Amino acid sequence: MIYDVVILGGGPAGLAAAVEAKNAGAENVLILERDRELGGILNQCIHNGFGLHTFNEELTGPEYAERYIDQVIALNIPYLLNTMVLDLHDNGALKSIHMINEENGYLIIEARAVILTMGCRERTSGAIGIPGYRPSGVFTAGTAQRFINMEGYLPGKKVVILGSGDIGLIMARRMTLEGAHVQAVCELMPYSNGLVRNIVQCLDDYNIPLKLSHTITFIHGKDRLEGVTIAKVDEKLKVIPKTEEFIPCDTLLLSVGLIPENEITRNAGIVIDNRTNGAIVGELRQTSMPGVFACGNVVHVHDLVDFVSEEAVLAGKGAVNYINGDLASEVTFTTSNGDGIGYVVPQQVAIKNVADKVTFYMRVRQVFQDQVVNAYIGDQLIATKKEPKLLPAEMINFNITKDVLAQYPAGEIRFVVEEAR
């Protein structure tokens, strides 16, 4: 059988994309999931705070996932679990997907359109190269979260957390509730990388100190972790001598960033953006390979699942438009990140595919007060986004209407942080 749309990943992005593709008219949609159930990382996120934008209520991760899983079931969208995609090939009009699972063995299926929704993974201690020993007891925050929330086991009792990403903050509270003593959260930067609400609800409410401009300089313990040495860093992020402090602990959690998981994307030859580590995408999340779309954390790391779902709707629409021959391929605008901006998604816009507006997602490189984000085409200021404070931890959604964009024949849309005029 030839599928209309095959979706690589049954997490929040994949579920929402599948629902949208089916609702938009795709007949044969299939979801491929490597884990043992649908829902992706949401299944281990048992805290609440999901869905405020989408559903106007505070759901837990599994509850948020369930809303979409219910729709997938109601729409009779088939899915395969415990299924690992090995390769994606472009055969022109059709894509072939090589995959394996225990029940069906080695399978090759064909699809008119493919949506990549593989999510992201955590940066590791190896990647950041902390000196010292290599004992057990050093976990990425997400791995610890899985052990606690999915397997029912605690990784340890005296905890230090490096990095103030959201998962690290959530785990500080989770481990405290489990009776562990979380002694400190150390953050290399002078500002947190997590959402403000998580700092308040997960650290402040439990008197867990957040040590900004601190890093770990040594991991102690030959077999199991016995402690860490922390130290202050200067504005160049170099350790300040004689600020070292030993903290005994049996567990170190790392929450030092997420990386989009694009092995399949890279092997397929799809063009990747070095800034996001995800595919270069258009307004409907089309990639450089015609008929292949990508959305969610595999494109760029989001901080709220609501925006993942929002992006997935675009990809679902795009895939159906593509199958129907209704997807314009000529790129009208490209986007670029000017001063203060780390990246912008989408990187390309085909104006013919835009209904009423384009939402540009971006992150600032550092904390800005009393500044705005301006969008320019050439010298022309076309739109401004005002926020009281611009934080690297909080993704910016910058809407520009089709009417504004339609005034320009083509060009580069450049986003910059500037003084408010």
What is the binding site for another protein (CB under 8 A)?
34, 82, 84, 86, 98, 100-106, 121-122, 124-127, 129, 131-137, 140, 142-143, 146-148, 150-157, 178-179, 217-219, 222-224, 250, 261, 263
By beta-carbon proximity to another protein, the closer residue of 133 and 408 is: 133
By beta-carbon proximity to another protein, the closer residue of 5 and 225 is: 225
Cα Dmax for the chain: 67
The CA-to-CA distance between both ends of the chain, in Å, stands at: 58
By beta-carbon proximity to another protein, the closer residue of 121 and 211 is: 121
Q: Would you say 46 and 62 are in contact if contact means Cβ atoms under 8 Å apart?
A: yes
By beta-carbon proximity to another protein, the closer residue of 131 and 325 is: 131
Q: How far is the CB of 165 from another protein (least distance, A)?
A: 14
Q: How far is the CB of 259 from another protein (least distance, A)?
A: 8
Interatomic CA distance for residues 139 and 225, integer angstroms: 11
Strand partners, 224: 136
Task: Using DSSP, state whether 281 is helix, strand or coil.
Answer: coil
Q: How far is the CB of 143 from another protein (least distance, A)?
A: 5
By beta-carbon proximity to another protein, the closer residue of 160 and 350 is: 160
Q: How far is the CB of 58 from another protein (least distance, A)?
A: 21
Q: How far is the CB of 275 from another protein (least distance, A)?
A: 13
Strand partners, 6: 30, 114
Q: How far is the CB of 378 from another protein (least distance, A)?
A: 34
Q: Would you say 66 and 42 are in contact if contact means Cβ atoms under 8 Å apart?
A: no
By beta-carbon proximity to another protein, the closer residue of 179 and 388 is: 179
Q: Look up residue 150 and give its DSSP letter.
A: I
Residue 80's region, left for phi above 0, alpha for psi from -120 to 50, else beta, is: beta
CA-based nearest residue to 157, from 134, 184, 179? 179
Interatomic CA distance for residues 86 and 38, integer angstroms: 19
By beta-carbon proximity to another protein, the closer residue of 46 and 372 is: 46
Q: How far is the CB of 56 from another protein (least distance, A)?
A: 29
Q: Look up residue 269 and give its DSSP letter.
A: T
Interatomic CA distance for residues 420 and 416, integer angstroms: 12
By beta-carbon proximity to another protein, the closer residue of 224 and 402 is: 224
Q: How far is the CB of 332 from another protein (least distance, A)?
A: 33
DSSP string, 351-404: GGG-SSEEEEEEEESS-EESEEEEEEETTEEEEEEE-SEE-TTS-EEEEEEHHH
